[in-house]
Structure 1
Amino acid sequence: MTEYSVTPPTITSVAVSGSTSRFPVRRVFCVGRNYADHAREMGANPDRDPPFFFSKPADAVVPAAGVVPYPPLTADLHHEIELVIAVGKEGMAIAPENALDFVWGYGVGVDLTRRDLQATAKKLSRPWDWAKGFDASAPVSEIKPASGSGHPSCGRIWLSVNGEVRQQGDLNEMIWPVADIISYVSQAVALKPGDLIFSGTPAGVGALRPGDKVAGGVDGVGNFSFEVGPLAG
């Protein structure tokens, strides 16, 4: 039996819809600007250029329920609603036509972003880690197994704050659909069971404040609701 010098970290996991089992989280990849309208609102070209990715630590994943803390070091926390892909098989250099075979299920997530820190990082040509990878920056709903529901290629994706819909789009508006995303990521790294991929957000991202009530969902996948808590720390 392996002896560790300090207590090993707890394995982060996500609830599975209709089951007592949980989906273990290995890594979290996020696709940037995968909806044309969001690309435009961020001042980018929405053409189908090669996608770019950033990562969040596995333990940034928390339930999209209850209270999610407002993080330190920001005065401009933004919401970004996304379809989340849960990987169930190992693979590398996966062809798009085979990519859906590697999907275990789907969830709904919010890529929380410290937008002010991101803006500063962009100006200074620095990484986005502090803007994207902070504690509790990836609330995720239950994962719905693809074996029972199939693979969504269209359907409403939405997010509201205090009852006001701020983000709304359709999965068929993704510049890079699920199969292409999986194939593209697998050219760079070996995907393995437990990996999560946030697939991009539609237009309408905006600021959150402590006490805000956030709800959202993807048709055929799931819904969530949580409250933004007081400043963490």
Structure 2
Amino acid sequence: MASIATSAIRASLINHGKKIIGVGKNYAMHIKEMGGQAPKAPVLFLKPTTSYVFEGSPIRLNPKVGTVHHEVEMAVVIDKIARKISPEMALQFVGGYALAIDLTARDVQEEAKKQGLPWTVAKGQDSFCPISNMIAKADVPDPDNVGLWLKVNGEPRQRSNTKHMIHPTAFLVSYISHLFTLEPGDVILTGTPEGVGPINVGDTVTAGIEGLMQMKFDVEADT
């Protein structure tokens, strides 16, 4: 099937997607800092596309949700329908990549974990997925060797590399395609490294891919 990621719509491909699939517990050091254990298979969750916010618009925090943590991640942008594909074929269904921040209402998530409930409310609120425009696939020759960083008010918080992911990119795309049909514009958040921490109203969050791009978001109250 022909790719829809032509030059005319490449920048807006993400807006065509129907779903955001998050991967949890994909960096050993992050698992350690959260006091968890490495899972046998990828941990998956969904975020609605209404959680997207692009540079130029603020992150908005509802004061009633408690502590909200930043989680910087490499995002994979799908550009062809992918169903039950092999890891060897998986990257052929990728149109490009993006930088994303998987915001998490940590208090809400911890309570959900205790009760065995889904993470939807903790992960899916409006503006809980700040994301860059799509980065051309040619600019990321090896998605499993991408340097990521995040700062809050200029203070370094997260810095790592996708080479430390437990489950590499092609495996994730293949694995997910056996569970959910992936469609053009769908985004996979590949997990966050160690260093997660709180953001608050009035903060400025900057994040980047080393040697390639960076983005900035101000944090405002959602009134």
TM-score normalised according to structure 2 size: 0.90
Which of 76, 95, 110 aligns to 2:101? It is 110
Return closer, same or farther for 1:109/1:64 CA change in 2, 3 Å cut-off.
farther
| Whole-Å separation in 1 of the counterparts to 2:190 and 2:19 | 14
1:57 aligned residue: 48
Alignment of 1:205 with 2:211, yes or no, is no
Alignment of 1:227 with 2:218, yes or no, is yes
Q: 3-state DSSP class of the match of 2:214? A: strand
| Whole-Å separation in 2 of the counterparts to 1:68 and 1:146 | 27
| Whole-Å separation in 2 of the counterparts to 1:227 and 1:166 | 16
Which of 110, 119, 125 aligns to 1:119? It is 110
| Whole-Å separation in 2 of the counterparts to 1:106 and 1:17 | 15
Return closer, same or farther for 1:220/1:177 CA change in 2, 3 Å cut-off.
farther
2:31 aligned residue: 39
Larger radius of gyration: 1
Which of 183, 189, 195 aligns to 2:180? It is 189
2:144 aligned residue: 153
Return closer, same or farther for 1:43/1:64 CA change in 2, 3 Å cut-off.
farther
| Whole-Å separation in 2 of the counterparts to 1:17 and 1:40 | 42
Q: 3-state DSSP class of the match of 2:178? A: helix
Q: How many residues align?
A: 216
Alignment of 1:128-139 (within 5 A): 128-139=119-130
1:94 aligned residue: 85
| Whole-Å separation in 1 of the counterparts to 2:203 and 2:48 | 25
Which of 12, 32, 44 aligns to 1:22? It is 12
- How large is the RMSD of aligned CA atoms in angstroms? 2.0
Bigger helix share: 2
Return closer, same or farther for 1:116/1:103 CA change in 2, 3 Å cut-off.
same
Q: Which amino acid aligns with 2:29?
A: D
2:3 aligned residue: none
Q: Which amino acid aligns with 1:22?
A: S
Structure 1: which 5+ residue stretches go unaligned?
A: 1-15
> Contact 1:71–1:135 (CA<8 Å) still a contact in 2?
no
1:173 aligned residue: 164
Q: Shift of the alpha carbon at 1:130?
A: 0.8
Return closer, same or farther for 1:20/1:177 CA change in 2, 3 Å cut-off.
closer
Alignment of 1:217 with 2:208, yes or no, is yes
| Whole-Å separation in 2 of the counterparts to 1:31 and 1:178 | 11
Deviations 1:2-40 (A, max 9, x none): xxxxxxxxxxxxxx9997851122210000011100011
1:73 aligned residue: 64
Return closer, same or farther for 1:59/1:152 CA change in 2, 3 Å cut-off.
same
Q: Which amino acid aligns with 2:159?
A: Q
> Contact 2:149–2:210 (CA<8 Å) still a contact in 1?
no
1:4 aligned residue: none
Structure 2: which 5+ residue stretches go unaligned?
A: 1-5
